[in-house]
Structure 1
Amino acid sequence: MAPQYDAVVVGAGFGGMGAGIELDRLGLSNYVILERENDLGGTWHVNHYPGLAVDIASVTYSYSFEPNPYWSRLFAPGKELKRYAEHVADKYGLRRRMRFGAVVDGARWDEENQHWVVSVAGGETVTGRYLLTATGFLSQPYTPPFPGIESFAGKIIHTTAWEDDFDLTGRRAAIIGTGATAVQLVPEVAKKAAALTVFQRTPIWVVPKVDAPIPAPVQKLFASVPATQKAARLVNTSMLEALMVVGVLHFKQAKALNKGAGLLAKAHLRAQVRDKRTREQLTPHYDFGCKRPTFSNHYFKTFNKPHVRLETNSIDHVEADGIVTADGHKTEIDTLILATGFNLWDVNFPAVEIIGRDGANLGKFWRDNRFQAYEGITVPKFPNFLSLNSPYSYSGLSYFTTIEAQMKHMGRLFGELFRRGETTFEVTEAANARFLDTVTDKLGASVFYGGDCATARSYYFNQHGEAALLRPNSTVSTHRQAVSFPLEDYVYGVPA
């Protein structure tokens, strides 16, 4: 039985759209992109809280083959990323292959017919020769099970379900969380709320944000002379590489750079926060890079305002009209904002149930045998399957570095598959084991294992204490490997 589609892609964010573009380049144009939300854009559709913006300069946080010369700022606001996603979908003819409101329950490999059967909520199934999951790293919101939260009588909002018409004016608000989302949101809430308490479990490293509007003449220059925007992208990417690859991934060899980044963040904190006690509470006690750092010129300043308070005692329980901390202090509020992040390792790897050859369950395999994926994209016993948000896949600080490397990997893999006249592929156990050994060895020099990350509570670490998210390579190295990995690392055709 022939499958309905050449490929089924799960997720219509930038990863899924990149996969669709590459499938078209490969001539596999009969594909469908299944998206659980009601529109495309992934995180840039779901998130629209006040202050939302990229935390990687826009010239880098975009497809290199589809530059946008008209970013309004160095760090574009979220609504511009949403528009950019829509532009890409329309230009590359992706929207007509998208199905919105399609919640994927799971997928299984049909050995007899050599294709994937994907189950969609409501009882429907679709079949595809190839399965590509692009569900994103930060797609499963997490709400800690605070005792008594169901009794809260006020308004509760998670940042991923922001209500644009909700007026914070005069509210007594609390924000739980101090990650990158909260760093953007806290200053905006403080502008309207009568009182704001920020509940912090773990402080975050924050460095100055060199942000400014991009003048119209510069936008016109980018549009008329694309090489100028490419140069700006190269400069920014190089700076990120120095911070991430050298200072974080090569921590043992470059401790001075890592310590320098930490000193910059501490100087930024000292310059912006007047109260000594508050500065101490906002100072991380783990090495720079253990937890994803961020940029802001306004977050720290917010804590100088008389109506803003930082609370570092742990939350004991929630009552109808407030939050009680472990020391017995009650903060009376009428609005609870959850900036509590995402669940990566428990429910996101994979985000849906994937059953491969011989009944292998991907989630169980990863949890029983360590999180792993060859080149961050394929897994033994899962034929014709590409996981675009896998362990050891995230390269550099811009997600687009990862997306485009995986697109190149697809191009090389399918090119060889077609050359051989076959329709199935599967990475070998030996190649997968070799890759896992290599990345594990390289990460030994990183801040995650060589530095002090004990208090970071970072999503980089899984439940086994492994930093199995980031690929320990430079952008250049990752892209080089994507077009030069040994072709014999895969088996092509149905094994005899």
Structure 2
Amino acid sequence: MQDQHGIAPSESAAAPAAGEPDHEAIIVGAGFGGMGAAIQLGRLGLTRLAILERGGDLGGTWHVNRYPGLAVDIASFTYSYSFAPNPHWSRMFAPGEELKRYAEHVADTYGLRRHMRFNTVVESARWDERARWWEVRLRGGETLTGRYLVTATGFLSQPKVPDLPGIGTFAGKVVHSTDWDDTYDLTGRRAAVIGTGATAVQLIPVVARRVAELTVYQRTPIWVTPKLDAPIPPVVRRLFARLPVTQRAARVVNSTVLEAIMVVGVLHYRHARLANRGAELLARAHLRRQVRDPELRRKLTPRYSFGCKRPTFSNTYFPSFTLPHVRLETSPIARVEPDAIVTEDGRRTEIDTLLLATGFDLWETNFPALRITGRDGLDLGGWWRANRFQAYQGLTVPGFPNLLSLNSPYSYSGLSYFTTIEAQMRHIGRLFGELRRRGSTVFEVTREANDAFLDRVTRLLGDSVFTLGNCAPARSYYFNQHGEPALLRPTATLSTLREAGRFPLSAYDYA
């Protein structure tokens, strides 16, 4: 007997039969991607799951990140599973702790906790051709086996620490945004923030209110548009709870607007330059309204096309730089000293606190985030780097049977991560439905299907701002070390969802 969400509690802990692997599926990562995959596999009748999480709790980035000002930068209506709406968001852009509670609610609702192991680091996975399952090795030497392997390690899971001369000699407090120290009091500190990406846009306004002096070291400015944020009145929350269709309508409206402004103008730049230009003009007007000093405004204005680097929303970021105790530094850092930062122009700024909002390393350490060995000893990371980053519909790779790599090249679709997750859940549903129909246990995408998909996305990216715009100054994580924008899937959200449920079944070999 299954519960209302398709997972059978009584079977989840059942021991494997003789000749069977320890688990039907091993999922690496207990963030929203891993939980979405577990929900879908449960619906398909797979109950012996293991969800392995290196952190101490579930939630992925919303467990790891606790820095001041943390919030979603996509409206809460859109940043959630469409099948598990939350009518209780306090704001249009929910704070981070609400996303953490939402993740916990989803895990409890769908009975996922019983599958989870925390503080468990996966070091490698190897396809066993004879047994036809995956062998997963954990730190400490333990080995697990699973018929299917799902990697859900997140796009932004490997923190990037700047390799600055002398940074190891700094005698003050160093805090990375992904490892925030809640016990450290910023009051009265002379602080520096390195980085001006999406994290810094949220962090800087809060830090600026606490410290005595703040210097922000900017390498690349960011496009920032107005944030239409406000508390969601209790009457609206009650309406969402009683009539879920109203919240679905809000989600559709919000998603449509974001798609038109932020996606169409980026991915369809050749034919929608006006949309891209309109978004840029909106960001410029927002900056002009909030910063009157023309020199400061010049420093904060990107010199790359809108969309080359992930833009964000904020009403408080720009005003922070107009405060008398806040300074924007655009000269490159020459070195870090025990009590100061020195820039290439010779300016020395004494500090006692160094805050790193330097983002994540996607292409060197995150694709993939662990060593994965497929057929004939094929190493996934090595194969990607030798043969271009690629994955069929951003999910499966030839030479790697029974592997679902959720955070793969060309997988990110739309503006909300949940679009990507739900498209992949649809793909999994169709693929495993065919496995069941055939009585098969092994799938592998064909090289022909994979090559055709790679050719298609490469062609479509020829119409994008990444190819036709001025992206060289952006230093964007959208681009890999070969200069390819191999992260985003260049199709509209609805097209991605439709294709996930209709891809040709002949794209796979079954056994």
Matches of 1:319 and 1:149, distance apart in 2: 7
Q: Deviations over 1:103-162 (max 9, x none)?
A: 000100001100000010000010000000000000000001111011101000000000
Contact 1:187 1:299 in 2 (8 A): yes
1:162 counterpart = 2:180: yes
- Give the 5 Å matches for 1:37-436: 37-436=55-454
Counterpart residue type for residue 220 of structure 1 = R
Counterpart residue type for residue 301 of structure 1 = P
1:443 counterpart = 2:447: no
1:476 counterpart = 2:494: yes
**Residue matched to 1:459:** 477
Contact 1:357 1:382 in 2 (8 A): yes
Matches of 2:271 and 2:491, distance apart in 1: 15
**Residue matched to 2:9:** none
Counterpart residue type for residue 414 of structure 1 = F
Counterpart residue type for residue 116 of structure 2 = M
Q: Deviations over 1:258-296 (max 9, x none)?
A: 111111101110110121111000000000000000000
**Partner secondary structure for residue 455 of structure 1:** helix
**Partner secondary structure for residue 473 of structure 2:** coil
Matches of 1:226 and 1:398, distance apart in 2: 20
Matches of 1:134 and 1:311, distance apart in 2: 37
**Partner secondary structure for residue 173 of structure 1:** strand
**Residue matched to 1:489:** 507
Measure how far apart 1:331 and its partner are.
0.8
Contact 2:263 2:415 in 1 (8 A): no
Counterpart residue type for residue 491 of structure 1 = D
Counterpart residue type for residue 488 of structure 1 = S
Counterpart residue type for residue 471 of structure 2 = C
1:3 counterpart = 2:39: no
Counterpart residue type for residue 325 of structure 2 = H
Counterpart residue type for residue 324 of structure 1 = V
Counterpart residue type for residue 63 of structure 1 = Y
Unaligned runs of 5+ in 2: 1-18
Counterpart residue type for residue 509 of structure 2 = V
Using the TM superposition, name which of 319-328 and 242-251 deviates more: 242-251
Q: Given the two structures, how large is their TM-score scaled by the length of structure 2? A: 0.96
**Partner secondary structure for residue 74 of structure 1:** coil
Matches of 2:309 and 2:413, distance apart in 1: 15
What percent of counterpart residues are identical? 70
Measure how far apart 1:246 and its partner are.
1.3
Using the TM superposition, name which of 238-247 and 44-53 deviates more: 238-247
Counterpart residue type for residue 435 of structure 2 = L
Matches of 1:366 and 1:374, distance apart in 2: 13
**Partner secondary structure for residue 108 of structure 2:** helix
Measure how far apart 1:413 and its partner are.
0.1
Matches of 1:37 and 1:491, distance apart in 2: 35
Aligned residues: 493
Measure how far apart 1:475 and its partner are.
1.1
Q: Deviations over 1:18-39 (max 9, x none)?
A: 0100010010110100000000
Matches of 1:320 and 1:409, distance apart in 2: 52
Unaligned runs of 5+ in 1: none
Contact 2:396 2:404 in 1 (8 A): yes
**Partner secondary structure for residue 41 of structure 2:** helix
Q: Deviations over 1:44-97 (max 9, x none)?
A: 000010000000000100000000000000000000000000000001000110
1:30 counterpart = 2:48: yes
Contact 1:443 1:472 in 2 (8 A): yes
Measure how far apart 1:240 and its partner are.
1.2
Counterpart residue type for residue 298 of structure 1 = T
Counterpart residue type for residue 93 of structure 1 = G
- Backbone CA RMSD of aligned residues: 0.5
Measure how far apart 1:166 and its partner are.
1.1
Measure how far apart 1:474 and its partner are.
1.0
**Partner secondary structure for residue 414 of structure 2:** coil
Contact 1:245 1:472 in 2 (8 A): no
Contact 2:262 2:279 in 1 (8 A): no
Matches of 1:11 and 1:261, distance apart in 2: 35
Measure how far apart 1:8 and its partner are.
0.2
Using the TM superposition, name which of 149-158 and 235-244 deviates more: 235-244
Measure how far apart 1:165 and its partner are.
1.7
Matches of 1:345 and 1:248, distance apart in 2: 21
Measure how far apart 1:460 and its partner are.
0.1
Contact 1:178 1:201 in 2 (8 A): yes
Matches of 2:350 and 2:90, distance apart in 1: 40
Contact 1:245 1:473 in 2 (8 A): no
Q: Given the two structures, how large is their TM-score scaled by the length of structure 1? A: 0.99
**Residue matched to 2:33:** 15
Matches of 2:431 and 2:34, distance apart in 1: 18
